Amino acid sequence: MEENLTLHEASFVSRIDGDEIPVHPDSIIPSPNHLLSQFLEDGLCEYAFYYDSNKDICYVNSNLMSALGIAKPYIEKPATGIYEFIHPDDVRIFDQAFAWVKNKDRESLRRDFRLLTEKGKVFWVQFAGISEIHIEGSGGNLVGHLIDITHRVRWEIQHKNIIDGSSAIVFFADLKTHETRYSENLRQLLPDAKLEFEGDLLASIFPFVVFEDRQRLRDSVEQMIEGKTGKYSTEFRLQRPDGSRVWISCRCKSFFDASRQAKMIAGNLFNLSEMNQIRENVDKSCILHEITELPGRGRLLLDIEKMIHNRYVMSAAIVLLDIKGFHTYNDRFGRKTGDELLKGLSQMLSDRLPAEGILFHIHIDSFCILWPHATRLQVQSFMEFLQQETANPVMIGQDAIYTSFSMSAALFPSCGSSADELLANAEITLHKIKKEKWTKHAIYVPSDKRELKEKLDFEFQLTKALRNKREGFQMYYQPLVDAASGSLIGAEALLRWLSHENEIIKPEKIIAGLEATGYMDDMSEWVLEQGIRQCSEWLDAGVDPQFLIHINITAEDLMRPTYSESVFRMLKKYSMSPDNLILEITETSLMRNISICRQNLIRLRNGGVKIALDDFGTGYSSLNYLRELPVNVIKIDRAFIEDIQRDRFNHSFISAIILLAHSISRSVCIEGIEEIGQADFIRDLKADSFQGFYFGKPVSTSVFESKYFKNGYKQGRPSI
């Protein structure tokens, strides 16, 4: 301080006065003049300085000395030395301030930046100064002061954090200066909106307000400006750039001057749509299943998401469990028993949950286990374990009910990195498992998704072709021959589709696609019409009047109460006798739906149409039914023929069926004969007719005609 006083007392001739600068007695450092000395030392509770760029020295007052923690009342060579006192992030502001000083003569300057003390402490200052530049532009003086604004800045930062942290958008409108300011989070809603706006308060937001809501908003704001009300709340909609609309709730308050003129309006805007979403999520997470009281799908998704973001969870799994054929329990035992079964199964699963596993009831007939930290091996053996456990019945009162699950799992992170993706992938695999006969559980693999995509693409192309006048669909015909003479007795109509990639698609795949897309009925009718039309054309052209057209039908066809009438109508349309028609239905599908199909079968038989039981031997093969069913022909599946010369059982089976069938006046057709040896071997067993590649593969109409009617249609029965 002593040194300080001495310095300030030294005489000083200002450059402004054009005089020489005296030299300080203790050093070569020049001193400021008396007036400046006074300015730097007295009366100022702020920080003051005087910079002489000519000598490159900056005099500071005692306040600034102690704030910066320096021992001398000046900073030498501040053009470079000053930077050790400037916060690195604010160097640019500081430089701008200096450049400004140089370029703008005698104008005052205000800038905020941070200073650093020698000990690294930071404080905010607001700088205001006046510069004087020499005419020759080689240097100049700058006098200024710094106000410590650390307290204010901290408060402002805190204030901003509060606003940013809240989901509300804050705004202030100065009605005198017509300036409106919004908090930055307005940009989350409206990326193009201005945060600072000059002009009418409403004009700042009106372009984004849905037209119908503008008047309501205008009314409320005008009431406030006119001083009719001090507080106001209203709701309106904002149109976002992506086209979506969000509901906004606006709460504001006005501030008045002494003459009760509104001078400022301050308020908040809340995004109600976002709040509703939050509420919905909360609701979803609270809903428990009404029967099992387990949390549901909404909660599952939230919990998976939470688990994924838990940094201590490196692996996890979701396991889906679908009760096989649950609706049949409801249908057979009633709703009440169905509910009890669900409770019993949820209890069974809860008792067997892995440690940390959580059970959810996500659809009426499916559960899900969320299992943090699970590994592939654990999941695999858990699903096997559950499969074994379902060998035990669920007891409902005195009744033991046997059930089983189709199960699938998706592992985190390998099978998905979001709740939606994990659940969707587990569902893809479950869908696949449910269709498989022998597999009961599997973990998702990417090929499951590929297969599903291919299936969906195929179904898309199939339905597109169907709608496009059934483009590419056609019937192939395979000959049927008399077993004894080898002469042609008929043809089976078999569906084919020439896909857009010129691939000939087989009927099983086509039918699966048609069933999945709901077009099977439509196609059945078309197939029936094609077969009947073709046969009647051949008959008209002179083919043997006994010629039989075999058309495949499904149990679903026979379940339609009016199916038999539609067959008779079609026969009438093409003037074909029912004697020339055989409808083939597979043994398995017929047996499963026998009671519903029986009426149509009887009507068809009574009307003269013959029925063949297709693929016999692969299903129930109930000999008892054979007698009762209105069936004319039994077609023994080709599986029994393949090894017929060596397999004694197959030989005995065919022999027994032929004997039995003949005893009840049914005829027998053997399918799948590929070699002459097979035909000869079976002929001795007295089968009635044969079908198989040896006699002819399925071919298109033109090929069939050129092969089997090559000598004209009126040739009697061609021998194959």
Alpha-carbon Rg for the chain in angstroms: 46
d(CA 429, CA 406): 10
Token reading at 224 = 């406030």
Residues in binding contact with ligand C2E, number by CB under 6 A: 24
d(CA 75, CA 40): 14
Q: Does 615 bind Mg ion (CB under 5 A)?
A: yes
Amino acid letter, residue 268: N
Of 153, 146, 48, 31, nearest in space to 97 by CA: 146
CB of 685 to Mg ion, least distance (A): 18
For Mg ion, the closer of residues 52 and 614 by Cβ is 614
Helix or strand holding residue 334 (H, E): none
x-marked contacts with Mg ion along 647-686 as a string, rule CB under 5 A: ------------------------x---------------
Token reading at 20 = 């020489």
Amino acid letter, residue 118: E
Q: How many CB atoms lie within 10 A of CB 121?
A: 12
List the single partner that 365 binds among ligand C2E, Mg ion, none, CB under 5 to 8 Å by kind.
none
x-marked contacts with ligand C2E along 509-548 as a string, rule CB under 6 A: --x---------------x---------------------
Q: Does 494 bind ligand C2E (CB under 6 A)?
A: yes
For Mg ion, the closer of residues 144 and 672 by Cβ is 672
Using alpha carbons, list the distances in angstroms from residue 660 to 153, 455, 639, 668.
Answer: 102, 43, 20, 10
Secondary structure of residue 608 in the 3-state scheme: coil
Token reading at 170 = 């804050």
x-marked contacts with ligand C2E along 652-671 as a string, rule CB under 6 A: -------------------x
Q: Does 672 bind ligand C2E (CB under 6 A)?
A: yes
d(CA 139, CA 55): 9
For Mg ion, the closer of residues 340 and 615 by Cβ is 615
List the single partner that 553 binds among Mg ion, ligand C2E, none, CB under 5 to 8 Å by kind.
ligand C2E
For ligand C2E, the closer of residues 60 and 535 by Cβ is 535
CB of 532 to ligand C2E, least distance (A): 12
Q: Which of 90, 340, 614, 705 binds Mg ion (CB under 5 A)?
A: 614
CB of 454 to Mg ion, least distance (A): 27
Q: Does 691 bind ligand C2E (CB under 6 A)?
A: yes
Token reading at 468 = 């496009």
d(CA 222, CA 175): 12
Residue 320 pairs in a beta bridge with 368, 408
For ligand C2E, the closer of residues 340 and 614 by Cβ is 614
Residues in binding contact with Mg ion, number by CB under 5 A: 5
x-marked contacts with Mg ion along 320-339 as a string, rule CB under 5 A: --------------------
Q: Which of 62, 204, 530, 552 binds Mg ion (CB under 5 A)?
A: 552
CB of 665 to Mg ion, least distance (A): 21
Where does residue 385 rank: exposed (0-12), middle (13-18), buried (19+ CB within 10 A)?
exposed
Q: Does 698 bind ligand C2E (CB under 6 A)?
A: yes
* Entry field: residues in the chain: 720
Given a contact cutoff of 8 angstroms between Cβ atoms, the answer to whether 110 and 128 are in contact is yes
Q: Does 552 bind ligand C2E (CB under 6 A)?
A: yes
CB of 573 to ligand C2E, least distance (A): 18
CB of 650 to ligand C2E, least distance (A): 15
Sheet holding 231-239, edge to edge: 196-198, 179-182, 169-174, 262-271, 245-256, 231-239
Enumerate residues 6+ apart whose C-beta is below 8 A from 136. Answer: none
Q: Which of 325, 507, 607, 619 binds ligand C2E (CB under 6 A)?
A: 507
Provide the binding-site residues for Mg ion, judged by CB under 5 A. 552, 584, 614-615, 671
Provide the binding-site residues for ligand C2E, judged by CB under 6 A. 478, 494-495, 506-508, 511, 527, 552-554, 584, 586, 614-615, 638, 671-674, 691-693, 698
